[in-house]
Amino acid sequence: MVHGEAWTIKELFVYPNEYIYWSIQIVMYPFMTGLVAGAFVLSSLYHVFGVKQLKEIARFSLVFSLALLPVAMMPLLLHLQQPQRGIYVMMTPHFTSAIAAFGIVFTTYGLIVISEIWFVYRRFIVETVLELRAKQNRCNVESVRLVLYSLLAMGAMDLSPEALHKDERAVGILAGIGIPVACFLHGYAGFIFGSVKANALWMTPLMPVIFICSAVVSGVALCIVTYIVTMEIRKLVSAWKRKNNPRLLSSDELRSAEIQTVTLTSKYLLMFMVLAITLELLDLIFRNYTAVKSWDILRSVIYEKDFFKIFVLQYGFGNVLPFIIFLLPGLTIRRALVGALLVLMGVFMMRWNVVIGGQAFSASFSGFMEYRLPIWPNSLETLKEGLFGALAVIITPFVLFFLVTRVLPVFGVEDTH
């Protein structure tokens, strides 16, 4: 079967070779890179602009952006027809293509995140090494940990105040460079779509900006969700531990810290959301007003075929509803969680409506294509580019986050700062 035939339904006149070639994984790709970029920007708010109240979530989101990093690439590899050749993007880059820079931008960004984390955690790493070295009888696990942390320390064992101060400055600088690179990483995903002149829906110079704004929105929302979830777990754990050790923080104290962080973070969320919606509406109004050749078919896609997905799911449940949830006074943890989850769904639908919506009509402007997400895989293709492939992409960052935090704990660690 031809690639794309399994999930494409044609209506009226569609060119014979046209199918929905960019399917669910290409929806996942900007969604996941958006989360990476957003999480990083959130952590930079603390490191660069010194928003002190975000200290708690800053370290958290930085580590989370590390966990998300490999996952930004995963959907691309699942999408490629020849994934084993993916490395050719670095081997013979053709820079006239928007995709060619991906390898370089992605690697640069990854190195920045890893370096920043190294500086943030250096004190912790060195202290762990010293502590383990001091131990007389190390068990096997401890020996392995010693080797691991010694490697991570890269021989930089200096913990003098000057050295720690240097760490701090390095973090600031890296976070500073990181913001434009993160924006570039994601804005560039928008450029990949915005520069396809053959696609009437995608081609707009606003696309990169829209992508960056919604990236920050989704990244912040995800950090809020994960933060709340981990805090709930911590509360349970601390309640259990306090039975033995009453000096630990009480769950009430944790809760007040939690709601403070969440309220502040949600302010940034709303700010970027206003920006994202403004740009998206500007784009829609502009297309409506200028009504060029492609408008006839776009109108029937936007207002008829995809009406529910765009105006109900994306704008209604994904934007308006969370707005109300966050703006009503007396924000509670539970409400914040619901709001953030809705925002995530809204951004996901926005990616869907761009990627799939852009292929919902034929380049002949005389027909439509409908996308049916393959649920149950009956071939490698429908496994990779179906529900299960998408779920794998969604689950992986959480697994990675769990693994990373085994080595670099997010909470209860003395910062280099």
Structural element, H or E, at residue 11:
strand 8-12
Helix, strand, or coil (residue 235):
helix
2 binds other proteins (CB under 8 A): yes
> Site residues for other proteins, window 24-83 (CB under 8 A)?
76, 79-83
Size of the site for other proteins (CB under 8 A): 67
Two structure tokens written together for 20: 């929905």
Q: How many angstroms separate the CA atoms of 172 and 124, rounded?
A: 18
Query: Which CB atom, from 340 or from 356, has the smaller least distance to other proteins?
Result: 356
How far is CA 206 from each of CA 102, 211, 279, rounded to the nearest angstrom?
20, 9, 7
Q: Is 207:23 a contact under the CB 8 Å cutoff?
A: no
Two structure tokens written together for 208: 């990169």
Site of tokens 């934007």:
319
Helical ranges in 291-332 per DSSP H: 295-299, 307, 321-327
105 binds other proteins (CB under 8 A): no
Helix, strand, or coil (residue 42):
helix
99 binds other proteins (CB under 8 A): yes
Q: How far is the CB of 288 from other proteins (least distance, A)?
A: 20
85 binds other proteins (CB under 8 A): yes
Interaction pattern, residues 113-152, with other proteins; x per rule: CB under 8 A: -xx--xx---------------------------------
Kindly report the backbone phi and psi dihedral angles of residue 12, in degrees, each rounded to the nearest multiple of 5, phi listed first: 55, -145
Query: Which CB atom, from 139 or from 198, has the smaller least distance to other proteins?
Result: 198
197, 243, 334, 406: which one contacts other proteins (CB under 8 A)?
197
**Chain centroid to CA 336: how far?**
19
Query: Which CB atom, from 186 or from 384, has the smaller least distance to other proteins?
Result: 384
9 binds other proteins (CB under 8 A): yes
Q: Is 389:24 a contact under the CB 8 Å cutoff?
A: yes
Q: How many angstroms separate the CA atoms of 179 and 136, rounded?
A: 44
Interaction pattern, residues 344-383, with other proteins; x per rule: CB under 8 A: ------------------xxxxxx--x-------------
Q: How many angstroms separate the CA atoms of 145 and 408, rounded?
A: 12
92, 137, 245, 290: which one contacts other proteins (CB under 8 A)?
92
Q: Is 54:42 a contact under the CB 8 Å cutoff?
A: yes
**Chain centroid to CA 372: how far?**
25
How far is CA 257 from each of CA 235, 260, 326, 328, 333, rounded to the nearest angstrom?
12, 5, 18, 20, 11
Kindly report the backbone phi and psi dihedral angles of residue 370, in degrees, each rounded to the nearest multiple of 5, phi listed first: -110, 140
Query: Which CB atom, from 93 or from 316, has the smaller least distance to other proteins?
Result: 93
130, 147, 151, 154: which one contacts other proteins (CB under 8 A)?
154
Query: Which CB atom, from 156 or from 333, has the smaller least distance to other proteins?
Result: 156
Q: How far is the CB of 251 from other proteins (least distance, A)?
A: 38
Q: How far is the CB of 161 from other proteins (least distance, A)?
A: 14
7, 19, 31, 109: which one contacts other proteins (CB under 8 A)?
19
Helix, strand, or coil (residue 367):
strand
Query: Which CB atom, from 96 or from 245, has the smaller least distance to other proteins?
Result: 96
139, 155, 245, 376: which one contacts other proteins (CB under 8 A)?
155
161 binds other proteins (CB under 8 A): no
Q: Return the range that interacts with other proteins (CB under 8 A); candidates 44-52, 99-107, 175-183, 324-332.
A: 99-107
100 binds other proteins (CB under 8 A): yes
134, 139, 141, 198: which one contacts other proteins (CB under 8 A)?
198
Q: Is 219:38 a contact under the CB 8 Å cutoff?
A: yes
For other proteins, the binding residues (CB under 8 A) are 1-5, 9-19, 21-22, 76, 79-83, 85-94, 96-100, 102, 107, 111, 114-115, 118-119, 154-156, 158, 163, 166-167, 170, 192, 195-199, 362-367, 370
